[in-house]
Structure 1
Amino acid sequence: MLLIRPPGVYAPQGDTHLLVSCVCREPLHASSRVLDLCTGTGAVALAASGKGAQVTAVDLSARAVATAWLNARLHHRRIRLRRGDLLAPVAGQRFDLITANPPYVPAGTGTSAPGCGAALAWDGGPDGRLLLDRICRTAPRLLARGGVLLVVQSSLANVPATLTTLRAAGLRTTVVARRRQAFGPVMTARATLFERLRLIAPGEREEELVVVRGVRER
């Protein structure tokens, strides 16, 4: 799919494609309400809209929201776009499907603050879980009965913690997709840090991408 992507907006990569493949397997229809968090270019939101769903897409970056709007226009899709911090723009609403491709790259900085500028698209705090934990704790509250949450992340950001937190929030969870891939430029630049943190073995330059699916019981 052709997408506009200006500098400073996260480019669709392996994690985006893996999440899109899972969205395409969900039984969406015209009455399905979908929320796409950290939408970036809007690639995942476009996939859900392509199945006829009513889609809302959220991003903290004004540039990302503008980019997703342009891509929706380019592909003649109707997507409701909101700028804000994760669930804040849709507080009190309910969705049948929530998707998220949040920043999850461990920064190892010793601070709880993420990076700035373009790094906001990938820096996940010291252990990569700064936004992942927030999503896992709060997104289940916005799911309709029988609703589904799909979250994509790297194996370096503690997949068991995602499963545990979602289960504590009342969701039935499974890993529904996996993909191994070589490190890109950002991960390669931090490989020495990952070795020091024992997230990877010495010389290892691959990660596993994982999509976790959580279901709220009916």
Structure 2
Amino acid sequence: MLGLLGTYDQQGRVMLPRGVYGPQGDTLLLREALERETVGTGSAVLDVGTGSGYLALAAARRGASVTAVDRTRRAVLATRLNAALAGLRVEAVRGDLLAPAVGRRFHLILSNPPYVPAPDAALPVRGPARAWDAGHDGRLVVDRLCDGAAGLLRPGGALLVVHSALCGVPATLERMERAGLRAEVTDRRSVPFGPVLASRRQWLLARGLIAPDDEKEELVIIRAERVE
């Protein structure tokens, strides 16, 4: 069943099937980073883990040719519907992370991947937690992005990723550098723990990922550029 979400910016609303990740603080932080990029007519943009298609639509509004990927049918449906309602062209495809785009090259890759450390070591195979849980260290998806994105970027192209500092910013920077990307943190923002992290406080404490008095997590935007 589809429901109408509130307005997140001046450019419209998004329809959201139940179970699809909607625009939240990390999405909006990534949107701010997107606005600083030189994206327009002639730009090829890939949105990985598109969810509702919010970021894909933001890029398409600027004239970019946008491909949006998600592993759930509902997210692909939501993105196609939201693009149609907005009168925008977005190619929304279902697939595993970067796999649907292999063999293509992009000026910009965006991703708000699952990054929350979870008691389960494996990625969930069903349910809404697929949008956020990413193994004990939160890196099951982030590492694959770091390893594979360079091969899909044009020279001078950039990868923008948002994730929590809980899953390790230095590890992301190092992995991107090893893959041939010049990486840096461009944005940091502290936000209160949401329901998922709050419910895992004791587990996070036991893992040494938070301190007893922590009430917020830090979100970061990492920008990595292919310099070849």
TM-score, normalisation: structure 1: 0.97
**Match of 1:42?**
53
Measure how far apart 1:194 and its partner are: 1.0
The sequence identity of aligned pairs, in percent, is: 51
Measure how far apart 1:115 and its partner are: 5.5
How many residues of Structure 1 are paired with residues of Structure 2 in the alignment?
217
The one-letter amino acid of 2:208's match is R
- Are 1:153 and 2:188 an aligned pair? no
Contact 2:123 / 2:133 at 8 angstroms: preserved in 1?
no
Q: Deviations over 1:61-112 (max 9, x none)?
A: 0000000111111211110111000111111100000011000000032x33
CA distance in 2 between counterparts of 1:77 and 1:6 reads: 19
TM-score, normalisation: structure 2: 0.92
CA distance in 2 between counterparts of 1:8 and 1:37 reads: 17
- Are 1:27 and 2:34 an aligned pair? no
Q: Deviations over 1:132-181 (max 9, x none)?
A: 00010011110000000000000111111110000001111111111110
Name the Cα RMSD after superposition: 1.0
Matches within 5 A, 1:176-195: 176-195=186-205
List alignment gaps of at least 5 residues for structure 2.
1-11
1:97 to 88, 108, 111: 108
Compared CA separation, residues 115 and 104, structure 1 to 2 (3 A) = farther
CA distance in 2 between counterparts of 1:70 and 1:207 reads: 33
After the TM superposition, list the runs of 4 or more consecutive aligned residues in structure 1 that deviate by more than 2 angstroms: 111-116
Measure how far apart 1:47 and its partner are: 1.0
SS at match of 1:5: strand
- Are 1:16 and 2:27 an aligned pair? yes
Contact 1:181 / 1:207 at 8 angstroms: preserved in 2?
yes
Q: Deviations over 1:187-211 (max 9, x none)?
A: 1111211111111100312101000
The one-letter amino acid of 1:12's match is P
**Match of 1:134?**
144
